[in-house]
Amino acid sequence: MKILVCISHVPDTTSKISFVDNGTRLDSNGVQFIIGPYDDYALARAVELKESNGASVTVLNVGLSDTEPTIRKALAIGADDAIRVHAEPADSFFVATQIAAHAAGYDLILMGRESIDYNSGVVHAMVGELLGLPSFSPVMSLELSDGVVKMAREIEGGKESLEASLPLVAGCQEPIAEWKIPNMRGIMSARTKPLKVVDPVAVEARVRLDGYELPPPKGAVKMIAADNVGELVQRLKTEAKVI
Amino acid sequence: MMKSLVFVETAEGKVKKTSLEAVAYAHGLGGAVTVIALGTADAQALADVGKYGASKVLHASDAALNEPMVQLYTSVIEQAMRAEGTEVLVLANSSLGSPVAAKIAVRFNASLAANVVELPRPGAACIVKRSIYTGKAFANVELKNAIKVITLRKNAAEAHEVGNPVAVTPFAPSLANVDANVKITAVEKATGDILLPEAEIVVSGGRGMKGPEHWGLIEDLAKTLGAATGCSKPVSDMHWRPHHEHVGQTGVKVAPQLYLAVGISGAIQHLAGVNSSKCIVVINKDPEAPFFKAADYGIVGDAFDVLPKLNEAFRAAK
Ligand SMILES: Cc1cc2nc3c(=O)[nH]c(=O)nc-3n(C[C@H](O)[C@H](O)[C@H](O)COP(=O)(O)OP(=O)(O)OC[C@H]3O[C@@H](n4cnc5c(N)ncnc54)[C@H](O)[C@@H]3O)c2cc1C
Ligand SMILES: Nc1ncnc2c1ncn2[C@@H]1O[C@H](COP(=O)(O)O)[C@@H](O)[C@H]1O
């Protein structure tokens, strides 16, 4: 079985976000970049399937050369080889088109439910559409038995159980697998695993970035004494008008 | 003046609040608003969508559409868009709306923006503001192509009554068997009548609640307020509460009028799920808890002491 895991390269969840160049570029100063946390679940599940069922795992990233340490980390966690499509990920459709161009022959295409920078949660469905494959997200469990894929998907206020056949695309989230931490052997072997850099297929982005902005600063918290909870009730009624 | 189509989702026959927000948003775009609903639904509820700004309601009522199959839904919405000459498709960002939006965008060579929070900025170009970095920032993006798809973050528009009910027009699309390889085998719905993602008020507990045996305090307050209950991730990891109640970056993103957080420290991953709330109240015994920085109102105190008193005060104020 061949598994493709698509990973985004994003600021760590605790990063402070700010912008430079007149609000057109993320200030990456002091920001630590990681594998997208949901993509990390997808990768962990792929490595588990490799161990239990036997499979090859390829990771793919659409990004410039600064994403290579992130890709090497994925190799250290257990992927066998990697593809980097050498391009700025311009928009979801651009990324989906690049992924689709390399997805032929894979049985399972695993992604995260969403990238934590753009949070669109659409690349998997676009890839499915481009390839004519079913796609599912957010997938909380994924089991293979006799060619049937059994999945559970989170829906508003509940859970949906599904069955489908390979090949398919899935956007993953916890608790699909436990995140894996690379060990020393993984880190050593990652250095020599193949990482292929390819040019993007020509496709125009459909969305143009006009600029970024930050939310207005929050007003100061109003503290209320613990022995005067009636005041909170009053303020929620007359001041905040939320009850 | 863009002609819009709004895909509305229903639950137990009724139109979801997030879908009514999508209708209100489309109305704000200024052009004619057509709505489409799929599967069995309450006729009056659909007619009432007119009150929120729809001038036409299409209903594809075939029972084959009662199960939310993504491919089939996409195909029906595609047919409606072609029939109506739709220029912009608007839908709530949901586990169903999001994949439908993505697929429609591919089929129509459309520009897509997800998690949009406001109407387009005035001007010739269609520039919308969308939430990014898990609520920590916004991006203004131009939807360049002729056809546009917009999914909305909760509270992007307020569903006000602006008109009257409209007649519901039956819509009979061709229903091809496009989901042949996919089978929904079971659906588990959370118990309780107020669904967390749609709730107007949420009472959430963290590790500070000490154990599942104390959740009665949270539930009592939620009951008084007509609220849904939520929790932090460690609470669901330890199985004090079910997984689908956990709020945050890896869990549910809520956007209520009022979010009451009890015994939750306010880690950035938790805040990522609550930062679209209108008003946040934090109860924590540690005055240094980071959550206070993100709160509108705060009480420094012991949950076990404050919760019963607060419940009493809310009940008295009813
Ligand atoms: C990638 C990643 C994703 C994550 N995603 C999420 C997520 O989606 N949602 C989420 O919630 N977390 C998430 N987390 C975990 C998050 O970082 C925090 O660990 C978690 O939110 C802490 O939960 P807590 O506030 O309940 O517990 P704690 O941090 O232990 O805080 C308990 C709080 O209760 C207070 N307290 C104790 N006793 C009392 C009392 N008697 N009365 C009043 N207050 C009391 C304490 O002062 C403290 O502030 C994630 C972490 C990572 C690394
Ligand atoms: N630049 C990228 N390279 C590879 N995969 C990506 C990239 N961006 C997003 N993805 C994948 O698509 C998923 C959904 O992303 P999004 O639609 O942007 O929220 C992510 O969780 C990744 O698995």
**pLDDT interval class at A201 (50, 70, 90):** very high
Predicted pLDDT of residue B250: 81
Q: DSSP code of B51?
A: G
Radius of gyration of chain B (CA): 21
**For A134-148, what is the mean pLDDT?**
93
User: What is d(CA B199, CA B202) in angstroms, rounded to the nearest whole number?
Assistant: 6
Residues pairing with A130 in the sheet: none
For A241, the 3-state DSSP assignment is coil
What sections of B141-298 are H helices per DSSP?
Answer: 215-225, 233-237, 268-271
Farthest CA pair distance, chain B:
61
For B3-170, the fitting CATH number among 3.40.50.620, 3.40.720.10, 3.30.390.50, 3.40.50.720 is 3.40.50.620
Fold of B196-317: Rossmann fold (3.40.50)
CA distance A51 to chain B (A): 25
* Torsion sign over Cα A32, A38, A43, A48: positive
Q: What is the number of CB-based contacts under 8 A between chain A and chain B? A: 244
- Ligand 1 neighbour B273 (Cβ under 6 A): yes
pLDDT tens track for B198-231: 889 999 999 999 999 999 999 999 999 999 999 9
Which of A22-36, A132-146, A165-179, B167-181 is least confident?
B167-181
ipTM (interface predicted TM): 0.91
Distance in Å, CA A7 to ligand 2 centroid: 6
Q: Is the pLDDT of residue B315 over 90?
A: yes
Query: What percent of chain B clears pLDDT 70, i.e. is strictly above it?
Result: 98
**For A143-157, what is the mean pLDDT?**
89
* Chain B residue with minimum CA distance to A123: B102
Distance in Å, CA B256 to ligand 1 centroid: 20
Copy the structure tokens of residue A2. 């061949």
**pLDDT interval class at A219 (50, 70, 90):** confident
Copy the structure tokens of residue A69. 């340490």
Residues pairing with A148 in the sheet: A145, A165
* Torsion sign over Cα B187, B188, B193, B194: negative
User: What is d(CA A180, CA B189) in angstroms, rounded to the nearest whole number?
Assistant: 31
**For A217-235, what is the mean pLDDT?**
93
- For tokens 């969508």, name the residue: B49
The model carries a pTM of 0.91
CA A151 to chain centre: 18
Which CATH number is A2-214 given?
A: 3.40.50.620
**In chain B, where does the domain assigned CATH 3.40.50.1220 lie?**
196-317
CA distance A94 to chain B (A): 11
- For tokens 């990456």, name the residue: A28
Q: How many CB atoms lie within 10 A of CB A137?
A: 28
- Specify the residue with its C-alpha closest to ligand 1, atom 36: B208
**pLDDT interval class at A118 (50, 70, 90):** confident
Predicted pLDDT of residue B193: 64
Which ligand is located closest to the Cα atom of residue A6? 2
**pLDDT interval class at B191 (50, 70, 90):** low
User: What is d(CA B126, CA A90) in angstroms, rounded to the nearest whole number?
Assistant: 18
Q: Do A116 and B96 touch (CB under 8 A)?
A: no
Domain ranges of chain A: 2-214
Q: DSSP code of B274?
A: T
Q: Do A157 and B145 touch (CB under 8 A)?
A: no
**In chain B, where does the domain assigned CATH 3.40.50.620 lie?**
3-170
